[in-house]
């Protein structure tokens, strides 16, 4: 199974849909191909006599003028590919045009200290008539100059108002007024199967419109910096250069900002991802108001619950997310949340997805009081947590741990040794970690089936700390007919694994 997953991951590539190139001179701006229009108002496609939608032209006419082309440039030092050209004797044979000029051709030889201009091409959406534009962070990341081309052929230098790498969003401002605007729709109301249109400038050929449907919601690709991801997936054709462009519904409302594609070749294969408009609006409003984004933090790491884990936890159904670690002194710790708790709901809304919980916490302002419904020892209770502030350089709002599988050592199919300070340091264990170190794993054993690996530290079995083989025997005896619930530490991260002892 692991080898199959590895092959799949190697064969597919996640690509930010921007067009990137390095060169030593600038490129002229190709003319946009859509006439300007007034402020966008919702509009529906034309209906044929048979009752089918025959055209979305009216919708596009109103929406397209609010989509722009974004060009960014930054100067970088050219790598020194041929250091022997620094030798004056050799340089005289490799001057420009084959002459004996002592000065090397910097474009050909990338001399030390020479600069190249790296250019990125993407798209953007006008969100306010005074010139505020929403685009992707990766389109303008590190840019020293940003240019925006409007559909009426005007070009403006743009100012960066704010950028947020965790969500891959940025806000620009140009000196213009009375611009056409795309107002955000409610992306929470988008349904799988809804028709959508993608508008942008793919591959620099000019503004283009493609159509498709919403293929899935709540997708996570782990490509963005902070992985605050809740993508809408679509089969509307998206390619490099579409980054930051609009994904709209048939009423002309903005429901997403196109961001990434999944492709083995770099071209569109019908798997594209857009940042939902509700998330984009929250980030945009904060960037415009404060120049930065503030996010709530719970201070726990959690993992998905599968049927084996549900059985180990005595859950009647597969629901909730399992807390496998609580940050010492963090908001959840102060509220009494413990490792092994199952979070069932937040503020009365059920929680069944790790990514969903993380995004909901992140979208809540720091200092907000939230109520978590948890299950502990077969009983439910409510805990009140005052959220902390997310630190991009520290822990995530809610960590997304490994989605792993998921008695005596011989029954587990492992060999164990005590955890010493030297071993703890070598294995990257956090301070205070105690348990038994897995020396080897029988490939045909129960532990291997569950995903336990050499170097893992077994901290608990069935919520009982284990420090010796006798502890392992005693703890495994409590499993009964259920899988044993084993807490392991791997490279400083903890995770629960259900193990069906053979």
Q: Active-site residues: which are they?
A: 138, 168, 243
CA-wise closest residue to 123 among 231, 244, 272 = 244
Q: How far apart are CA 65 and CA 67, in angstroms?
A: 5
The DSSP code sequence of 409-476 is: HHHHTEEEEEPPHHHHHHTTPPTT--SEEEEEE-TTSHHHHHT--TT-EEEEETTEE--SHHHHHHHH
Could you tell me if residue 164 is left (phi over 0), alpha (psi between -120 and 50 degrees) or otherwise beta? beta
Question: Which residues are registered as beta bridge partners of 338?
Answer: none
Q: Could you tell me where the beta strands, DSSP code E, fall in 150-286? A: 155-157, 159-164, 169-173, 195-200, 208-219, 231-234, 246-249, 254-263, 272-276
Helices (H) and strands (E) in the chain, counts: 13, 32
- What lies within 8 Å, CB to CB, of 210 at 6+ separation is 197, 198, 236, 237, 238
- Find the DSSP H helices in 166-291: 277-290
What is the SS3 assignment for 279?
Answer: helix
What is the SS3 assignment for 136?
Answer: coil
Question: Which residues are registered as beta bridge partners of 239?
Answer: none
Given CA atoms 151, 156, 159, 160 in this order, what sign does their dihedral have? positive
Question: Which residues are registered as beta bridge partners of 272?
Answer: 234, 261
Q: How far apart are CA 313 and CA 140, in angstroms?
A: 47
């Amino acid at each position: 199974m692991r080898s199959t997953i590895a092959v799949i991951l190697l064969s597919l590539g996640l690509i930010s849909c921007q067009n990137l190139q390095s060169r030593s001179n600038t490129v002229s701006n190709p003319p946009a191909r859509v006439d300007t229009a007034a402020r966008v108002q919702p509009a529906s496609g034309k209906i044929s006599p048979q009752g089918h939608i025959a055209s979305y032209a009216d919708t596009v006419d109103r929406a397209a003028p609010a989509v722009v082309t974004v060009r960014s440039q930054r100067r970088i030092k050219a790598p020194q590919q041929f250091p022997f050209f620094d030798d004056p004797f050799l340089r005289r044979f490799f001057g420009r045009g084959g002459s004996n000029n002592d000065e090397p051709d910097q474009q050909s030889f990338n001399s030390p200290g020479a600069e190249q201009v790296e250019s990125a091409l993407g798209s953007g959406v006008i969100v306010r008539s005074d010139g505020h534009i929403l685009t992707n962070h990766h389109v303008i990341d590190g840019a020293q100059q940003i240019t925006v081309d409007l559909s009426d052929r005007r070009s403006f230098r743009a100012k960066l108002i704010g950028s947020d790498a965790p969500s891959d969003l940025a806000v620009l401002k140009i000196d213009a007024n009375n611009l056409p605007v795309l107002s955000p729709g409610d992306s929470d109301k988008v349904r799988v199967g809804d028709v959508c249109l993608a508008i942008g400038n793919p591959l620099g050929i000019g503004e283009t419109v493609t159509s498709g449907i919403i293929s899935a919601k709540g997708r996570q690709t782990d490509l963005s910096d902070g992985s605050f991801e809740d993508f809408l997936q679509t089969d509307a054709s998206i390619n490099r250069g579409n980054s930051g462009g609009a994904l709209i519904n048939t009423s002309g409302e903005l429901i997403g900002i196109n961001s990434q594609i999944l492709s083995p070749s770099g071209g569109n294969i019908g798997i594209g991802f857009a940042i939902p408009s509700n998330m984009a609006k929250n980030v945009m409003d904060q960037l415009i108001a404060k120049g930065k984004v503030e996010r709530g933090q719970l201070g726990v790491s959690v993992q998905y619950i599968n049927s084996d884990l549900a059985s180990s936890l005595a859950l009647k159904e597969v629901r909730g997310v399992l807390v496998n670690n609580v940050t010492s002194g963090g908001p959840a710790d102060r509220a009494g949340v413990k490792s092994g708790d199952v979070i069932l709901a937040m503020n009365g809304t059920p929680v069944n997805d790790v990514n969903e919980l993380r995004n909901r916490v992140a979208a809540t302002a720091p200092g907000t009081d939230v109520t978590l419904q948890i299950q502990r020892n077969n009983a439910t209770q409510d805990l009140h947590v005052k959220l902390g502030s997310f630190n991009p350089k520290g822990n995530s709002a809610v960590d997304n741990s490994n989605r792993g599988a998921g008695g005596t050592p011989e029954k587990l199919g492992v060999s164990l040794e005590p955890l010493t300070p030297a071993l703890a340091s070598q294995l990257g264990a956090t301070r205070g970690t105690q348990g038994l170190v897995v020396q080897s794993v029988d490939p045909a054993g129960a532990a291997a089936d569950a995903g336990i690996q050499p170097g893992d530290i077994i901290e608990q079995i069935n919520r009982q700390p284990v420090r010796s083989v006798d502890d392992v025997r005693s703890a495994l005896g409590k499993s009964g007919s259920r899988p044993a619930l084993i807490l392991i530490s791997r490279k400083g991260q903890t995770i629960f694994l259900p193990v069906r002892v053979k």
